[in-house]
Amino acid sequence: MTSTARFATITLATVIGVAGLQMIPKAQDRPDGQADHVLLLSIDGLHGFDLDRFIAKNPDSALARLSMHGRTYTNAWATNPSDSFPGMLAMVTGGTPRSTGVYYDDGYDRSLALASGPCVPGAHVVWKQNLDVLPFSFTTTIDPLLLPRDPADGCTSRVWPHQFPRMNNVFEIVKAAGGRTAWSDKHPAYEFLNGPSSMGIDDLFTPEITLNAPAITTTNSFALTMAYDDMKVAAIVNEIRGFDHTGSTFVGVPTVFGMNFQAVSVGQKLKAEQVLTAPVLTGGYVKNMNGTFTPSNGLQATLEHTDQSIGAMVSELDKQGLLDSTMIIISAKHGNSPVDPSTLVRINPTTINTIINTVGPNLVAQLSADTGPLIWLKDQSATEKIVTALNDSMTNGNPARIAGILSGAELAALFADPATDSRAPDIILAALPGTVYTTSGSKIADHGGFGEDDVHVALLVSQPSLPCKVVGDRVETRQIACTILKALGLSCDDLMSQQVEPSKFLPNANHARTVDDTLGVTSVTSVKSKH
């Protein structure tokens, strides 16, 4: 069954599961350590060592205070590939691309058709600013005519972002159990968090971060990105007060809510401030003589600003009498690489196409190549020849800086079989450390790859009733989904991903430790090259 046929048949009952229909218990019915509300915050780009360093250097910061009443997971790993869409889905569905079918926000689906033109299966699917109603100055609206189409019904229907993930999420389960939900993020395409039921989020606020010309691009400026984050922080504060994100209508405090911070990610990726002239801020890290890394002044500014924003949320929770009953989870959809500025090598992504073109012309359907190239082919029968060509290139100067190649049975074992799954890439490349596939001279880091800088992220679970503890168990961010449901007295079994790739709540988070709480994490970087 194609992915589109599948989501067309999903009903609300199958999305949430029968057990999910129970009402969320009232506070007086809860065991100790559980919560009435969960606030989930993704600080994109925040590595585990970033959190450790910031807390150590800023003992009076909001993050330090939260860590004094919670579990800091020093061995937490985001999903592979390390992109925003699969990274966010991991936190709320408990699944990786193996179950969700979502590999990147810029990918390919062999079962869908483009937004316009012939009704032919095979479409480059992009879930970003490309879908926005124009002009999109902080728009929150999607233009339906820009959505991909479903050839199964003659391309008469459009595929909305929420129809793309194959798994349900915690928002849907919480809402079906009687709770209220809210989320704020960087593109209107984050409508995908409504999930297969289309009803996951009560209050979705998604101001577009990427502005169209001649507007100044937000992410070209540390200051503008921090100001952009402030809009979403204001939305969260309004929601803590019991209003909708605009602050105009009283609706009650969400049961599960949160937002995505972009400033730290921009602080890592942007070489230098490109909009404002003073003060002069630069991005990335400074390598010290002893081999450690210190944030640049631009990155440090974004870290401090994000901490202050979290402090404002904590202060408002306290003011509203909600702090004791709210679990705060802080993590990152992904990290960014490289951390070590001396290892940075920019490679034009067309270098990969050039190698593939030695096998034959026009074989690439889609190449998504920030730090971990994903390749979808028009002719899948050419896969082995292309893998051979890529391996040969590694022994002849390695112009694309390839460290390893994943394809065939090895790829299918970790993700899904591209021969039968409409979403799975045919080839995945692991790049040499420091490689960023870009033509931008201002970009000094990115994500998408499988190395430690991309996937070893921060994770902190905090609540006033929790004692301070540092947990070194290897965990995954996809365990956040089950942890949220457990905290609210709901069942992880209602997550559809549990049937494909089971997970558990985070060890020592808010429940007694059970046997085998931790999960193994397989990285593409472990795949050896075949030459």
| pLDDT tens track for 399-412 | 999 999 999 999 99
Mean pLDDT to the nearest integer, 199-209? 96
Mean pLDDT to the nearest integer, 482-510? 91
* Spatial CB neighbours of 456, under 8 Å, sequence gap ≥ 6: 47, 48, 75, 76, 77, 78, 335
Q: How confident is the model at residue 514 (pLDDT cuts 50, 70, 90)?
A: very low
Displacement of CA 280 from its chain's centroid (Å): 30
Angle at 229 between CA 281 and CA 338, to 5 degrees: 50
Render 30-95 in DSSP notation, one character per residue: PPTT--SEEEEEEETT-BHHHHHHHHHH-TTSHHHHHHTTEEEETTEE--SS--HHHHHHHHHHS-
Q: What percent of the chain has pLDDT over 70?
A: 88
The residue that leads in pLDDT, 2 or 189, is: 189
pLDDT at 138: 83
Q: How many CB atoms lie within 10 A of CB 247?
A: 14
Mean pLDDT to the nearest integer, 147-160? 97
pLDDT at 221: 92
pLDDT at 529: 35
Q: How many whole angstroms separate alpha carbon 438 and alpha carbon 444?
A: 9
CATH of domain 3-99+160-339+449-499: 3.40.720.10
Q: Which of 510, 500, 484, 509 is nearest to 177 (CA)?
A: 484
Burial of 134 (0-12, 13-18, 19+ CB in 10 A): exposed
Q: Indicate if the pLDDT at residue 141 is higher than 70.
A: yes
Mean pLDDT to the nearest integer, 5-9? 30
Q: How many whole angstroms separate alpha carbon 16 and alpha carbon 2?
A: 21
Q: Which phi and psi angles does 141 have, rounded to 5°? A: -120, 140
Mean pLDDT to the nearest integer, 262-269? 98
pLDDT at 275: 84
Q: What is the mean pLDDT of the chain?
A: 90
Lowest mean pLDDT among 20-29, 218-227, 346-355: 20-29
pLDDT at 276: 74
pLDDT at 102: 98
Q: How many whole angstroms separate alpha carbon 304 and alpha carbon 257?
A: 23
pLDDT at 117: 97
Lowest mean pLDDT among 273-277, 338-342, 484-488: 273-277
| pLDDT tens track for 43-90 | 999 999 999 999 999 999 999 999 999 999 999 999 999 999 999 999
| pLDDT tens track for 418-437 | 999 999 999 999 999 999 99
Chain position carrying tokens 């299966």: 121
Radius of gyration of the chain (CA): 22
Q: Which phi and psi angles does 497 have, rounded to 5°? A: -65, -20
Q: Indicate if the pLDDT at residue 270 is higher than 70.
A: yes
Q: Indicate if the pLDDT at residue 23 is higher than 80.
A: no
Q: Which of 304, 315, 327, 336 is nearest to 256 (CA)?
A: 327
Lowest mean pLDDT among 98-102, 262-266, 383-387, 519-523: 519-523
Instruction: Tell me how far CA of residue 446 lies from CA of 45, 266, 518, in angstroms.
Output: 9, 9, 28
Q: Indicate if the pLDDT at residue 41 is higher than 80.
A: yes
pLDDT at 213: 60
Mean pLDDT to the nearest integer, 208-233? 87
DSSP H helices in 246-356 = 263-269, 297-319, 350-356
Q: Indicate if the pLDDT at residue 510 is higher than 50.
A: no
Mean pLDDT to the nearest integer, 307-321? 98
Q: Indicate if the pLDDT at residue 518 is higher than 70.
A: no
Mean pLDDT to the nearest integer, 343-364? 97
Q: Indicate if the pLDDT at residue 268 is higher than 80.
A: yes
Annotated domain spans of the chain: 3-99+160-339+449-499, 345-443
Burial of 2 (0-12, 13-18, 19+ CB in 10 A): middle
Q: How confident is the model at residue 342 (pLDDT cuts 50, 70, 90)?
A: very high
| pLDDT tens track for 449-491 | 999 999 999 999 999 999 999 999 999 999 999 999 999 999 9
Cβ(291)–Cβ(339) under 8 Å?
no
| pLDDT tens track for 288-304 | 999 899 999 999 999 99
The residue that leads in pLDDT, 216 or 448, is: 448
Q: How confident is the model at residue 139 (pLDDT cuts 50, 70, 90)?
A: confident
